A and B are shown apart, each in its own frame.
Chain A
Amino acid sequence: MKNAVGREIPEEALAVELKNGRKYEPYQGKGYRDGKYIKKAGPTSKIYQKPQESKLLPSIRDAIIATGLKDGMTVSFHHHFRDGDYIVNMVMKEIVDLGIKDITIAASSLGSAHDPIADYIEQGIVTGIQTSGIRGRMGDVVSHGKLKTPAILRSHGGRVRAVEEGDVHIDVAFIGAPTSDEYGNARALGGKGDCGVLSYAVPDSEYADKVVVITDTLVPYPNFPPSIHGVNVDYVVKVDEIGNPKKIASAAARMTQNPRDLMMAENTAKVIAACPWFKEGFSFQTGAGGPSLAVNRFLEPLMDEKGIKMAWAIGGITGPICELQRKGKVGKIIDVQDFDVAAIEDIRTNPNHFEMTASEYANPANKGAFVNKLDFVVLAALEVDIDFNVNVITGSDGVLRGAPGGHPDTAEGAKCCVIVTPLTRGRMATICEHVVTVTTPGDCVDVVVTDYGTAVNPARKDIIEALDKAGIKHVPIKELQEKAYSLVGKPDDLQWKDKVVAILEARDGTILDVVREIKPYEN
Chain B
Amino acid sequence: MSIPRPKPERFRLRRTMMFMNAQKPGLIKDAYIYGADSIMLDLEDAVAENQKDSARFSLYHALKEIDYGNTEVIVRINGLDTPHWKEDIRVCVAGGCDGIRIAKTESAHDVQVVDEAVTEAEKEFGVEVGRTLLMAALESPKGVLNAVEICQASPRLFGVALSGGDYRKCMQVKVIPGGIEMLFARGFMLNAARAAGIQCFDTVFTNLNDDEGFRAEVKQNVEMGFDGKSLINPKQIQIVHEMLAPTQKEIAEAEKIVRAFREHASEGVGVFTLDNGKMIDIAFVPGAERVIKLAKASGIYEGDL
Main secondary structure of the interface of A (DSSP, over half): helix
Q: Is the beta-carbon distance between A259 and B234 smaller than 8 angstroms?
A: yes
Q: Is the beta-carbon distance between A263 and B234 smaller than 8 angstroms?
A: yes
Report the bound CA distance from A78 to B29 in whole Å.
43
Q: Is the beta-carbon distance between A263 and B299 smaller than 8 angstroms?
A: no
Q: Is the beta-carbon distance between B300 and A471 smaller than 8 angstroms?
A: yes
Report the bound CA distance from A473 to B30 in whole Å.
19
A24 within 8 Å of B by Cβ? Answer: no
Q: Is the beta-carbon distance between B300 and A452 smaller than 8 angstroms?
A: no
Q: Which of B29, B233, B299, B300 contacts A259 (CB 8 A)?
A: B233
Residue of B nearest to A486 (CB): B67
B235 within 8 Å of A by Cβ? Answer: yes
Q: Per-residue 0/1 for A251-262: is the Cβ within 8 Å of any B Cβ (1 yes, 0 no)?
A: 000000001101
Residue of A nearest to B18 (CB): A259
Q: Is the beta-carbon distance between B299 and A451 smaller than 8 angstroms?
A: no
Residue of A nearest to B32 (CB): A452
Q: Considering the complex, which residues of chain B in the window 173-226 have a beta carbon less than 8 Å from any beta carbon of chain A?
A: none
B305 within 8 Å of A by Cβ? Answer: no
Q: Is the beta-carbon distance between B300 and A263 smaller than 8 angstroms?
A: no
Number of interface residues of B (CB under 8 A): 10
Q: Per-residue 0/1 for A479-516: is the Cβ within 8 Å of any B Cβ (1 yes, 0 no)?
A: 00000000100000000000000000000000000000
Q: Can you list 8 residue pairs at the A/B interface with Cβ under 8 Å?
A: A259-B233, A260-B234, A262-B234, A263-B234, A266-B238, A451-B33, A471-B299, A473-B299
- Of B30, B33, B34, B234, the most chain A CB neighbours within 10 A belong to B33
Number of interface residues of A (CB under 8 A): 10
Q: Specify which chain A residues have a CB less than 8 angstroms from the CB of B299 in the assembled complex.
A: 471, 473
Report the bound CA distance from A471 to B234 in whole Å.
21
> What's the nearest-Cβ distance from chain A to residue B240, in Å?
15
- Of A262, A263, A451, the most chain B CB neighbours within 10 A belong to A263
Report the bound CA distance from A446 to B299 in whole Å.
24
Report the bound CA distance from A487 to B233 in whole Å.
23
Q: Considering the complex, which residues of chain B in the window 236-263 have a beta carbon less than 8 Å from any beta carbon of chain A?
A: 238
Residue of B nearest to A258 (CB): B234
Q: Specify which chain B residues have a CB less than 8 angstroms from the CB of A262 in the assembled complex.
A: 234-235
Q: Per-residue 0/1 for A443-462: is the Cβ within 8 Å of any B Cβ (1 yes, 0 no)?
A: 00000000110000000000
Residue of A nearest to B33 (CB): A451
Known: A262-B234, A263-B234. 4 other contacts (CB 8 A): A263-B235, A266-B238, A452-B33, A487-B30
Report the bound CA distance from A452 to B235 in whole Å.
16
Q: Specify which chain A residues have a CB less than 8 angstroms from the CB of B29 in the assembled complex.
A: 487
Q: Considering the complex, which residues of chain A in the window 259-310 have a beta carbon less than 8 Å from any beta carbon of chain B?
A: 259-260, 262-263, 266
Q: Per-residue 0/1 for B17-37: is the Cβ within 8 Å of any A Cβ (1 yes, 0 no)?
A: 000000000000110011000
Report the bound CA distance from A262 to B236 in whole Å.
12
Report the bound CA distance from A206 to B33 in whole Å.
51
> What's the nearest-Cβ distance from chain A to residue B145, in Å?
37
Report the bound CA distance from A262 to B208 in whole Å.
14
Residue of B nearest to A450 (CB): B33
Q: Specify which chain A residues have a CB less than 8 angstroms from the CB of B235 in the assembled complex.
A: 259, 262-263
Q: Which of A259, A471, A473 contacts B34 (CB 8 A)?
A: A259
> What's the nearest-Cβ distance from chain A to residue B259, in Å?
23
Q: Per-residue 0/1 for B282-305: is the Cβ within 8 Å of any A Cβ (1 yes, 0 no)?
A: 000000000000000001100000
> What's the nearest-Cβ distance from chain B to residue A314, in Å?
29
Report the bound CA distance from A487 to B30 in whole Å.
10
Q: Specify which chain B residues have a CB less than 8 angstroms from the CB of A487 in the assembled complex.
A: 29-30
Q: Specify which chain A residues have a CB less than 8 angstroms from the CB of B238 in the assembled complex.
A: 266
> What's the nearest-Cβ distance from chain A to residue B121, in Å?
30
Report the bound CA distance from A262 to B34 in whole Å.
10
> What's the nearest-Cβ distance from chain B to residue A170, in Å?
48
Report the bound CA distance from A263 to B234 in whole Å.
8
Report the bound CA distance from A399 to B238 in whole Å.
40
Report the bound CA distance from A260 to B300 in whole Å.
24
Q: Specify which chain B residues have a CB less than 8 angstroms from the CB of A451 in the assembled complex.
A: 30, 33
Residue of B nearest to A472 (CB): B299
Q: Which 6 A-B pairs rank lowest in CB-CB distance, beginning with the nearest?
A: A259-B234, A451-B33, A471-B299, A452-B33, A262-B235, A259-B235
Q: Per-residue 0/1 for B262-280: is the Cβ within 8 Å of any A Cβ (1 yes, 0 no)?
A: 0000000000000000000
Report the bound CA distance from A278 to B234 in whole Å.
27
